[in-house]
Structure 1
Amino acid sequence: MRLDTPTLLLVTVIVTFVVGTLFLLSWSQDRTARPLAIWGVAHVTGAAASGLLALRGVIPDAASIGLANTLMIGAYGLIWSGVRAFEGRPLRLDLALAGGALWGALCFVPDFYASLAARVILASAIAGGFCAAGAYEIWRGRAEALVSRYPAMVLLGAYALVYVLRIPLALLTPLPTNQDVMQSAWLAILCFVGMLFTVAIAFTFMALTKERVERVQRQAAETDPLTGIASRRALVAGAQALLAGSDRPVTLLLFDLDHFKSINDAHGHMVGDGVLVGFCCLVQALLPPGALFGRMGGEEFACVLPDRDVESALRHASQIRAAVARLSVPSLPGLAVSVSIGAAESAAIGRELDALLRHADAALYRAKRNGRNRIEVSAALRAA
């Protein structure tokens, strides 16, 4: 089957322009997603470059060769810049546009412009370099687990390889003359591969953006906005997973800051919020690795200690209670902070979270009733 280059170029123009428009429309719905805007401009620029290439022989060569390839190389630079923006790194638009600028400047050198091999080698090296650099930037951001990250990296790497292979081919195989270039299999294959790349990269980059938005939303739902610790929803889900995943003992601690309403009334809600944040920082510093700590609501917090019997958990609880009692703010000499703690253990109660919460809550209520600033264990542990 013979690939018709002018038709492929026309289809490439349409597909690339539509992809660029979709990127820009997506960006218009979320102006904070700057990579979408950059990728949109890159694809619209690429569509313009393909349109100029398609007019080879109809318009002056300065436009269909010099300007077209300058725009195309610039488009690849912008794709790389969009990837850097996606990964939270500086855009480096100077480097992104330098490749196209170098090409355009060399087109004014007669010896370079007259050599099709030199033009192919330079354009392939720059475009392939931008694709490889984009793949590397995505790989550098692998600490952020996104499902589409590795497909995007492989896609950009594969397209870089296509350009790299053009370099030895340009040196070892005969190239078409300027008059026959529109009928060249080289250009047809490159157009076809470029069109596939455009569609694939659009799906992949859109998927990356969508996955990040969903990840941020999920993190927001799982994080308490004031203290930065786990929300009730995240804590419950984590606790249930721990209880279901092992037969080893699990201890639940419930914390309640004593007289917290009085702190708010006497010192204001900003001080109250500061107390909550300070309490969380202190507890996180004293808890052992693997502990789940979250905010149940208001001034009540919970901690799940996996692989800890009640004696070990109570030692940590005692350290926390004593450390909280020592909290002080020199500018607020009247501020006193203490915490009451209730404990329940799975070995005595069972591995249902609701049952553990009920017993720990009853123990916490008993600590409040018996004078606050103390630790009480569940009735099942006291009976044992």
Structure 2
Amino acid sequence: MLLDATTLLLVTTILTSMVGSLFLLSWSQARHVHALAIWGVAHLAGAAGSALLGLRGVIPDWISIVVANGVMITAYGLIWTGTRAFEGRAPRWVPIGVAVALWSGGCLIPAFYESLPARVIVASSLAGGFCFVAAREFWRGRAEPLVSRYPGMALLMLYALAYWIRVPLALLVPPQAGPNPLQTPWLTILCLVGMLFTLAIAFVFMSLTKERAEHLQRRAADTDALTGILSRRAFVARAEAALAARSGAQSPTVTLLLFDLDHFKRINDAYGHAVGDGVLVGFCHTMEALLPEDALFGRMGGEEFACLLTGVTPDQALVQAEFLRAAVARISVPELPQLAVSVSIGLAAAQAVPDRARGASTGEPWTGRLDGLLRRADAALYEAKRNGRDRSEIAPSTLRRAA
């Protein structure tokens, strides 16, 4: 079955216009996602370029060749700058202008304008180049765990290759302009590829936007709004996962630390809640700077915080707790010389029992012991406060050993 390039261009124009409108509609509902607006304009520009290409022979050639391809190059440039905006980088307009100027300037040279292979080489190189750098922008942002990122990169790279393969072919098998310049195999193939790319990239870009919104919502739910550390729910979930992962390890010793800022209500009453909030934030910054990288640290509520240390003995954990307590005591605010900050710490250490011994003794899964650690650490914290505050206390070991 023969495919008519003019019909394909018309279908591509309609399809790309619909996709561009969908992007703009999505942007109207999420104005902070500027990439959606840029991608929308890019697809509308692509639709306009396809329409002008489809009018070859009806409108002057300089419009259907020079202007149409210039608009298409602009559209691919906007796809690239939209990916930059999506990755949180500043949009760049100058390279798009340079690419369009290079194309337009070349068309002012008669020898270039009259050479179909030369026009194919330049236009394809520029369009493919923008697809390539758009894929590179997604690669640079790969630290953000978005599932659709890699399909997006693959699509952009495949489309770049679809354009770039025309460059050697234009040199080896120069295209010939017939009576109807639209009826060429390469234009037909490019139209088909363009239609598929438009549908696929619209799906992927929308998926990326949705995945990021969900990722941000999950992160907000897992993060304490004031201090920026783990919320209670997130800390408990990750602590249980860490305890489960340590079960059966060569050195599975774990220690839970509970922190409670001393006389925090007095600080709020004497200096106001703004200063109290500042003390909480300062305490968390101090802890994050001094705790090991693999430590879990979260806010349990109010002025109470928790930390899970893995792979350390109870004595090592106690030394670490004393070091942290001394660091907190050095927190000061020059404008408030009377402000004193101290913390009491309760520790509870336990050790994972190998699966065979656990089954023979208690049958209790390791992940179920976090509540027990919390209760023992809380009792040790109460003891530290009863003994005068600004001190560390460790709960007696209740480790069960296999017979």
TM-score after normalising by structure 1: 0.95
Q: Is the 8 A contact 1:286 1:316 kept in 2?
A: no
Deviation at 1:285, TM superposition (A): 2.6
Q: Is the 8 A contact 2:117 2:174 kept in 1?
A: no
3-state SS, counterpart of residue 305 of structure 1: strand
Q: Is the 8 A contact 1:348 1:381 kept in 2?
A: no
Match of 1:362 among 353, 374, 379: 379
Q: Is the 8 A contact 2:135 2:157 kept in 1?
A: yes
Alignment length, in residue pairs? 384
Deviation string for 1:344-376 (max 9, x for gaps)? 122399841111111111221222222211222
Deviation at 1:288, TM superposition (A): 2.4
Match of 2:349 among 334, 345, 350: 345
Q: Is the 8 A contact 1:344 1:381 kept in 2?
A: no
Match of 1:377 among 369, 372, 394: 394
Q: Which amino acid aligns with 2:342?
A: S
Deviation string for 1:141-183 (max 9, x for gaps)? 2222221222111211111111111011112224232532222
Mapped partners of 2:92, 2:378: distance in 1: 56
Mapped partners of 1:322, 1:78: distance in 2: 55
Deviation at 1:90, TM superposition (A): 2.4
Aligned sequence identity (%): 64
Worse overlay, 245-254 or 210-219: 210-219
Deviation at 1:110, TM superposition (A): 2.2
3-state SS, counterpart of residue 182 of structure 1: coil
Q: Is the 8 A contact 2:309 2:317 kept in 1?
A: yes
Q: Paired residue for 1:233? A: 233
Deviation string for 1:287-325 (max 9, x for gaps)? 223111111111000000111221111111111122222
Deviation string for 1:269-302 (max 9, x for gaps)? 1211111111112222332231111111110000
Mapped partners of 2:212, 2:157: distance in 1: 22
Worse overlay, 318-327 or 78-87: 318-327
Q: Paired residue for 1:333? A: 337
Deviation at 1:214, TM superposition (A): 1.8
Q: Paired residue for 2:322? A: 318
Q: Is the 8 A contact 1:348 1:380 kept in 2?
A: no
Query: Is 1:32 the equivalent of 2:32?
Result: yes
Mapped partners of 1:337, 1:186: distance in 2: 74
Q: Paired residue for 1:212? A: 212
Mapped partners of 1:176, 1:47: distance in 2: 26
Q: Which amino acid aligns with 1:29?
A: Q
- State how 1:223-262 maps to structure 2 within 5 Å: 223-247=223-247, 248-262=252-266
Unaligned runs of 5+ in 1: none
Q: Paired residue for 1:21? A: 21
Residues 378 and 157 of structure 1, relative CA distance in 2, 3 Å threshold:
same
Query: Is 1:9 the equivalent of 2:13?
Result: no
CA RMSD of aligned residues (A): 2.0
- State how 1:78-97 maps to structure 2 within 5 Å: 78-97=78-97
Deviation at 1:111, TM superposition (A): 2.0
Q: Paired residue for 1:49? A: 49
Deviation string for 1:176-228 (max 9, x for gaps)? 32532222111111100111111111111112222222222222222222222
Q: Paired residue for 1:109? A: 109
- State how 1:182-221 maps to structure 2 within 5 Å: 182-221=182-221
Deviation string for 1:44-81 (max 9, x for gaps)? 01001111111111222122222111111110111111
Mapped partners of 1:160, 1:383: distance in 2: 63
Residues 383 and 259 of structure 1, relative CA distance in 2, 3 Å threshold:
farther
Worse overlay, 34-43 or 51-60: 51-60
Mapped partners of 1:289, 1:355: distance in 2: 25
Unaligned runs of 5+ in 2: 354-363
Q: Paired residue for 2:177? A: 177
Q: Which amino acid aligns with 1:310?
A: P
3-state SS, counterpart of residue 32 of structure 2: coil
Worse overlay, 93-102 or 258-267: 93-102
Mapped partners of 2:322, 2:10: distance in 1: 74
Q: Paired residue for 1:125? A: 125
Residues 382 and 318 of structure 1, relative CA distance in 2, 3 Å threshold:
farther
Mapped partners of 1:31, 1:346: distance in 2: 50
Q: Is the 8 A contact 1:72 1:100 kept in 2?
A: no
Worse overlay, 256-265 or 104-113: 104-113
Mapped partners of 1:246, 1:382: distance in 2: 15
Match of 1:300 among 290, 301, 304: 304
TM-score after normalising by structure 2: 0.90
Q: Is the 8 A contact 2:231 2:299 kept in 1?
A: yes
Q: Which amino acid aligns with 1:259?
A: H
Q: Is the 8 A contact 2:246 2:352 kept in 1?
A: no
Mapped partners of 2:147, 2:129: distance in 1: 25
Mapped partners of 2:396, 2:220: distance in 1: 36
Q: Is the 8 A contact 1:344 1:359 kept in 2?
A: yes
Worse overlay, 185-194 or 287-296: 287-296
Q: Which amino acid aligns with 1:31?
A: R
Q: Which amino acid aligns with 2:308?
A: V
3-state SS, counterpart of residue 333 of structure 2: coil
Q: Is the 8 A contact 2:350 2:398 kept in 1?
A: no
Q: Which amino acid aligns with 2:84?
A: R
Mapped partners of 1:268, 1:330: distance in 2: 17
- State how 1:128-143 maps to structure 2 within 5 Å: 128-143=128-143
Q: Is the 8 A contact 1:363 1:377 kept in 2?
A: yes
Worse overlay, 371-380 or 336-345: 371-380
